[in-house]
Amino acid sequence: MSSSSDAAPSSDAAPAPGTAPDPGASPNGTGRYDGKSGFLARPLYAYLMEHGSPPDGVLSDLAAETAALGSVARMQIPAEQGSLLTILTAALAPSRAIEIGTFTGYSALSIARGLPAGGRLLCLDVSEQWTSVARRYWERAGVSDRIELRLGPAADSLAALPAEPVFELAFIDADKTSYPTYYELLLPRMKPNGLIIVDNVLQSGRVLDADVTEPSAVAVRTFNRMVADDPRVQVVMLPVADGLTIARKLP
């Protein structure tokens, strides 16, 4: 697997994934929420969380088990992002979806729950250890029959797929330095109007700072420019968690 620093921004830590923060606390001393939505004032983030659907017992238990893994838990998407993935998936009703970067399965479960009858999700990851947690929760949630997990470097798994436009939804959340590679391998495999959703595109704000030379931040900065300039897609960047890009493949 890639290093967690490459797979996740370094400052997207605490609170425990899948839970709302304590709006009264400000451990970073800035008055701003110090988790993935660091650009929001803490009370505003708490308000946002109070006005969205909460995760159910399976997602909450998965988040708790992931949190117990320690600092790597910061790689998991937060609850509101999981809800967004389920909503987008249900609205798009893709017969085939793909995820690059599965970890303990929170985002995959969120996508799988939005799939229509007969819809399938292909998950790519390198970690047997982390995805074994995912498999247990997919089983418990009753969605394991609609998810296929392929272990190995995602670029290899993607390149091995037929170069046909079959996917209607893709979620990229693996090693950041490979984002441009994943995007280029995915785009020809997306159907017209298919959505490529990309996580951590703000890198906790480090994309703004030209002095930051950390490979993941540099790669994401380059990637963001590349997608914004790509005439093959319509793109919007959303301030959800650590930044979420949605690119629609133009017909």
Ligand X SMILES: C[S@@+](CC[C@H](N)C(=O)[O-])C[C@H]1O[C@@H](n2cnc3c(N)ncnc32)[C@H](O)[C@@H]1O
Size of the residue set binding ligand X (CB under 6 A): 24
Q: Which of 2, 177, 224, 245 binds ligand X (CB under 6 A)?
A: 2
Q: Which of 59, 67, 77, 201 binds ligand X (CB under 6 A)?
A: 77
Interface with ligand X includes 80 (CB under 6 A)? no
Interface with ligand X includes 104 (CB under 6 A)? yes
Burial 82-105 (b: 16+ CB within 10 A, else e): bbbbbebbeebebebbbbbbbbbb
The C-alpha atoms of residue 67 and residue 15 are separated, in whole angstroms, by 9
User: What is the per-residue DSSP string for 198-213?
Assistant: EE-SSGGGGGG-TT--
Query: Least Å distance between CB 13 and ligand X?
Result: 13
Q: Which of 33, 130, 137, 167 binds ligand X (CB under 6 A)?
A: 130
Interface with ligand X includes 89 (CB under 6 A)? no
- Segment near ligand X (CB under 6 A); pick from 2-10, 25-33, 43-51, 184-192: 2-10
Burial 186-209 (b: 16+ CB within 10 A, else e): bbebbbeebbbbbbbbbbbebbee
Q: Which of 59, 121, 169, 174 binds ligand X (CB under 6 A)?
A: 174
Interface with ligand X includes 125 (CB under 6 A)? yes
Q: Which of 19, 83, 127, 224 binds ligand X (CB under 6 A)?
A: 127
Compute the radius of gyration of the chain from its Cα atoms: 17
Reported as half-sphere exposure (CB side, CA atoms, 13 A), residue 3 has a value of 7
Interface with ligand X includes 204 (CB under 6 A)? no
Query: Least Å distance between CB 78 and ligand X?
Result: 9
User: What is the per-residue DSSP string for 84-128?
Assistant: HHHHHHHHH--SEEEEE--TTSHHHHHHHTTPPTT-EEEEEES-H
Applying CB under 6 A, the residues found at the interface with ligand X are: 1-2, 7-8, 75-77, 101-104, 106-107, 124-127, 130, 153-154, 173-175, 178
